[in-house]
Structure 1
Amino acid sequence: MLKKLALSVAVAALAAPAIAQDLSSMSWDEIVAQAKEEGEVNWFVWYLQDDFRGAVKAFEEEYGITVNIPEGTQAANNDKLLAERDREAGDIDVMAFSFNQVAVWDLPSLFMPLSDVLPEDVGRTYSLNGSDAGGYGVGYWGNQTGISYDPAKISEEALPQTPEDFAAFWAANPGKFGFNYEKGGSGPSFYQNIFRNLTDVDYESGEQSDEKLAATQPGIDFFNEHAENYVVTASNADSITRVSDGELWMAPGWEDHVAGLQRKGEVRSEIKFYVPAMGMNGGGNAVSIPVNAPNPAAAAVLINWLASPETQTSFNVNFGTAPLNAAADSSNALVPADQRANSRPWPAKPFRDDLEQKFVEDVILER
C-alpha cells in the first residue's frame, strides 16, 4: 500500500497543482470524470481508521475510486500538512481536522476553496459553534458532549438542567455522579459549563489575564463546596463504563463515543444521553483539499460524498454522530433535535489551558 501511495504521488507530482487550480472552472461532471481517471484518493484522518475503511467501501463501489486511509495521529497528520505545504505536490488529498483548527490555521494558504468546486447543497455545514471555515472546509463529523444516565435510576423529568440542579442531585444521591478531568473532554466540558453559568467571563475569547482567571473563582468554590458528593473518574471511557455497570447513575460523555460503545455491546443499550439546558460543549470535524493535493478531483468527489445527506444519515446510524447536513435524518441520534440548541463552543485557547490548570490545582488536588 505504501509503495503504491508513494508511486501515485510521484506520478501526479507535476500535473497535480495545475489540476487543482482548474477545478473551479470545471463542471461537476468533468470533475467526476477527472476523479475516475485519478483512480484513488488519500484521506488523512486520525481516528476510527478501520471503521472508515469499511464505511468508504460504498463510495469505492459507486465511483470506482480507491480510498487510502493511512495510519496517523492528529498531531502527526497536522504536522505533515504543514511540513508539505511548500512542496509542488504533497501526499494528502483530503485532510480531516477539528473545527477548532480554524482559529489556528491560515486556511486560504493551505486549502482549496470548496465552495467554488462542490455542487450546490444548501444543507452543508461550513461553520460550527462559532468556527467558520469560510468555504475552505466542510463538516462531516459532528460531536456533542452531554450527560449519560441510567433511566432506571433517574427519570427524564428529574434530570438536572442547571448548576443548582446538579448540586441538589449530588446532595440527594452522593457518589452517584462522576466526571473526569483528564483523558477525554467530556468532564472538562461539564465543569467548564458550570463555570459559564456561575461567572461573568468571556470564555469565547482566548485572552489571558490574572484578573480574568480570578473571575472564575465562583466555579472553583462550587466544586469545592460539593466535593464530598461527586466522584472523579479516570477518563471518558471510565465514566461511561461505571454508568453502564450501575456504580454511577450519571456521568458526562460524548454522544458518538457512547453510541459506538452501545453498538459494540460494551455499554448497556438502556443508557440514555441528554444535553442539559445550562449547555455543554459541542463541535465537530471538517475535511478540506490541500492546495497541492495529488488527486484533487477525487478529493472533491469524496468530500461531496462525506458531506451528503445520505452519508451523514449513515454516520448518525452507525457512529452516533450529530449529522452536519440539514437534509440528513437524525432520528437515530442519542440527542433529541431540540437539545442541539444547548450546544456551546469550547472555551478559546490559551485561556482554556489556564482554566483547566486552575481546576486541577484548586479543585482536584484539594480533594
Structure 2
Amino acid sequence: MTEETTAASPAAGPADEVLFERRGHLGVITLNRPKAVNALTLGMVGAMLEQLTAWADDDGVATVLVHGAGDRGLCAGGDIVAIYQDMLAGGKEAAGFWQNEYRLNALIAGYPKPYVAFMDGLVLGGGVGISAHGSVRIVTERTRSGMPETTIGFVPDVGGTLLLSRSPGEAGTHAALTGAHLSGADALFLGLADHYVASGNLPALAAALETETADAAVERFAEKPPASVLGGQRDWIDSCYASDDAEDILRRLRSFHGEAASEAADTIEAKSPTAVKVALESLRRARTLTLEEALAQEYRVGLRFLAGADFREGIRAQVVDKDRNPQWKPASLHEVSAADVERFFEPLGDRELNLHSKEARNV
C-alpha cells in the first residue's frame, strides 16, 4: 500500500481525478492527479471499478490502457498523510478504501480483455496494484517501481505479497524487506512487467492500440531491455534470504562480506522490526495462496497495522514531521516474537474481506 490513501474529501470527486475515453477500440484510463504523482483516492478506485466493469461487456472496446497524467509517473500509491489523519480518527476510512482497492486489483488480474499498463516513471505501492496485475505491463528507462511499505512501518499489499513471492529465487524477499526502488529491467526480472519500451515511444504505442491488437502493437515497439542489476545479484540474494527467520537473514547479510549485502542489512535494520517480520511471513504464506486469498490476508494484516503504533509513527517520521527518525516499538527484531507476528494473521470474523461475495462484486 505505501502510499495508498483513504477516501477523498467531501469536496473532491472522481470526475477530474481519473478520466475515461474511447479512442477507436481502445478504452483509455488516465490517472489525473499529476501534482500528487496520480495518487489514488477512493473516488478514483470506485470510478475505475465501474468503468472497467462496463468495458468488460462492451464489444466496442477491445483493449484497455491505463497511464498517468504528467511526467512524474503512473502512480506513486496514494495520500499517506490522509491515512495518518484517518488513523488518528480510528482508521475506518482506510479500511473501506482497501476493500474497494483490493476488489479493483482482483478485477484487473482477471480482466477478460488485454489490460495494458504504462509503468513509466514512479510506480509504487498502489500503483503496482493497478498495473502489475494486468496482462500487458510496459516499463521504460524511466521506471522506478517498488513496494516501499516497510519504510513507513507497513507491509506490501495490493497483491504485492503474492507477486513478490513468485519472483525468481529470493529476489522478491529482498525487494519487500528493503523497499528498494526498482528499474524497469529489475521489474521485468521480478515478474512485475512484460515488455520494455522507450518512454518516447509510448504515445505512438498508445495510438497503435486504437486500431491494432495489443500483441501486434506491443511487438512493434518493444525493445531488448538492459540487464537487471538485481538479476546479477542472485548469488548473494538467494543465499542470504533463503531463511524464514528475519534475524537469520540479517546475520547472513552481515557475514556475506559484500558491499551490496551489507547495504541491504543496513537498510533492513532501519525499517520497522515488526513490519520486517510480518512482511517476511506474509511472503512465505503467499507462496501457496491465490490472489484473492493473498488480498484477504493483506487486508487482515493491514487492519492490525492500522491499530498498531509503527504504521502511524512511520508516516509521521517520513512524511508529516519529516525528521526521518522513526521510533519503532519494539525497536529491534529480537523483541518481535513469533506470537506477535502470528497475531497479525488471525481471522477477522465477520470483518473478513470476501472478494467472492455478491456484495464484493457490486460496485
The verdict on a shared fold, with TM-score over 0.5 as the criterion, is no
TM-score, structure 2 normalization: 0.27
Could you say which structure has the greater relative contact order, defined with CA pairs below 8 angstroms and 6 or more residues apart?
1
Q: Which structure shows the higher helix fraction?
A: 2
